[in-house]
Chain A
Amino acid sequence: MASKKSWPLWEVFVRSKNGLEHRHFGSLHAADAEMALENARDVYTRRNEGVSIWVVESKHITASNPEHNGELFEPAQDKVYRHPTFYEVPDDVKHM
């Protein structure tokens, strides 16, 4: 059983309706992309959850490591000047 090559894992992304982005829905196993699409349709869209499906083999996704969250994301925390409320504008100035 284990000696045979098993079906790879795929990540499934579904667009629930036009105008919205594809969102990660889950994963599944399939022999190839076509089967992954068909399985995704059966597993994740039985109740009109989608109008478009993307599948990508999980091994092609590179994920950031939570242990590096500090160096990756903390620098953004003290950059308040990237937000509009940092700037002082008199109350009577409209449309800004």
Chain B
Amino acid sequence: MSEEQIKSLEQKFNQRIDRDEKIEPKDWMPEKYRQTHIRQISQHAHSEIVGMLPEGNWITRAPSLRRKVALLAKVQDEAGHGLYLYSAAETLGISREEMYEQLHTGKAKYSSIFNYPTITWADMGAIGWLVDGAAIINQVPLCNTSYGPYARAMVRVCKEESFHQRQGFEIMLKLANGTPEQKEMAQDALNRWWWPSLMMLGPTDAESVHTEQSMKWKLKRKTNDELRQQFIDQTVPQADVLGLTIPDPDLKWNEERQSYDFGDIDWEEFWQVVKGHGPMNKERMKARVNAWENGAWVREAAMAYADKKEKQHSKEAV
């Protein structure tokens, strides 16, 4: 195709997006649109899959059967969400193996929040309440994104996600109204998860390299800073209900802006974790690589069995 032809196709493509038309897998799309979507959707899938690890850590130690079934169901949902998203990315021409390879070699990133350890039961509460809360704020606008398979996957994800946040809040509520030790445990979890949750919404707009293009493609509908403010504004009153204190001395209601002002985020920490130097980066990757490698013989055996059955079947047919 000549450069001129591509330009005219791109123009038509952008007009389709401006008209809120969806783009489907076999439609023509600019190469950059394809690559950006592969990157974002696969990283989103990786985050769901790696996100199972910090919580999986507590399934066998949940304090009651009620908490255990809820946590199991939540982790199972995360596996499901990862699978919806991997399939959506595959419609853009990347294979599942390629995506795993990118994750395992560190070429693809996943949400930095999962590189923090889950050291007490209250962390299950804080993750559901804060991490899933921040994830929902990120994800709801994606239900309207321009790429059809991604938007459809996100509709399913968002429908299932709200129980995740509520079960987390319920854990926090129970602890906050429990013994002084339990309340302290809840406060400690809030102290450790608050700032990483704010970072989860991404670097400030000035530092975010992809924002402008992603807004044009409706891959993003609000900037990171807008999403972060929304998260803070809706979470502070929830912390008040819990009777817990958000660990930010600069947090203050701003009457004029009708929003909360908040303190400086330690972006140095964020970039360190993104670059692989968080407390759990190595361990998370080791767990994923082990799961993949130790499961290889199962995948091969299942395939060999399927092939054998197929052969028997065609023999019978003759």
User: A residues engaging B (CB < 8 A)?
Assistant: 1-2, 4-7, 9, 26-29, 31-32, 35, 42-44, 46-47, 63, 65-67
Are the C-beta atoms of B27 and A28 separated by less than 8 Å?
no
Query: Which of chain A's residues have a CB closer than 8 A to the CB of B97?
Result: 1-2, 6
**Bound-state Cα–Cα, A26 to B81, Å:** 12
**Bound-state Cα–Cα, A43 to B310, Å:** 25
Are the C-beta atoms of A28 and B306 separated by less than 8 Å?
no
**Does B223 sit within 8 A of A, measured CB to CB?**
no
**Does B184 sit within 8 A of A, measured CB to CB?**
no
For this complex, 9 residue pairs linking A to B, each with C-beta atoms less than 8 Å apart, are A4-B299, A7-B302, A28-B87, A31-B303, A31-B305, A32-B306, A35-B306, A42-B80, A46-B76
Known contacts being A9-B90, A47-B160, is A66 close to B77, with CB within 8 Å? no
Query: Which of chain A's residues have a CB closer than 8 A to the CB of B27?
Result: 66
Known contacts being A26-B84, A46-B77, A46-B80, is A31 close to B26, with CB within 8 Å? no
Query: Which of chain A's residues have a CB closer than 8 A to the CB of B306?
Result: 31-32, 35
**Bound-state Cα–Cα, A41 to B77, Å:** 13
**Bound-state Cα–Cα, A67 to B26, Å:** 9
Query: Which of chain A's residues have a CB closer than 8 A to the CB of B199?
Result: none
Give, as a whole number of angstroms, the nearest-CB distance from A35 to chain B: 7
Question: Which of A7, A32, A46 has a CB less than 8 Å from the CB of B299?
Answer: A7
Q: Which bucket holds chain B's interface residue count?
A: 20 to 34
**Does B205 sit within 8 A of A, measured CB to CB?**
no
Question: Which of B73, B153, B309 has a CB less than 8 Å from the CB of A26?
Answer: B153
Query: Which of chain A's residues have a CB closer than 8 A to the CB of B80?
Result: 42-44, 46
**Bound-state Cα–Cα, A26 to B91, Å:** 11
Give, as a whole number of angstroms, the nearest-CB distance from A3 to chain B: 11
**Bound-state Cα–Cα, A26 to B303, Å:** 22
Question: Which of B296, B300, B302, B310 has a CB less than 8 Å from the CB of A35?
Answer: B302
Are the C-beta atoms of A28 and B83 separated by less than 8 Å?
yes
**Bound-state Cα–Cα, A5 to B27, Å:** 29
Question: Which of A1, A4, A63 has a CB less than 8 Å from the CB of B26?
Answer: A63
The CB with the most chain A CB atoms within 10 A, among B73, B96, B153, is that of B96
Closest to A44 in B: B80
Q: Which of B279-302 contact A (CB under 8 A)?
A: 296, 299-300, 302
**Bound-state Cα–Cα, A2 to B97, Å:** 8
> What string of 1s and 0s marks CB contacts (under 8 Å) between B12-46 and chain A?
00000000000010111000000000000000000
Known contacts being A26-B87, A27-B87, A47-B160, is A67 close to B28, with CB within 8 Å? yes
**Bound-state Cα–Cα, A35 to B27, Å:** 31
**Bound-state Cα–Cα, A31 to B302, Å:** 6
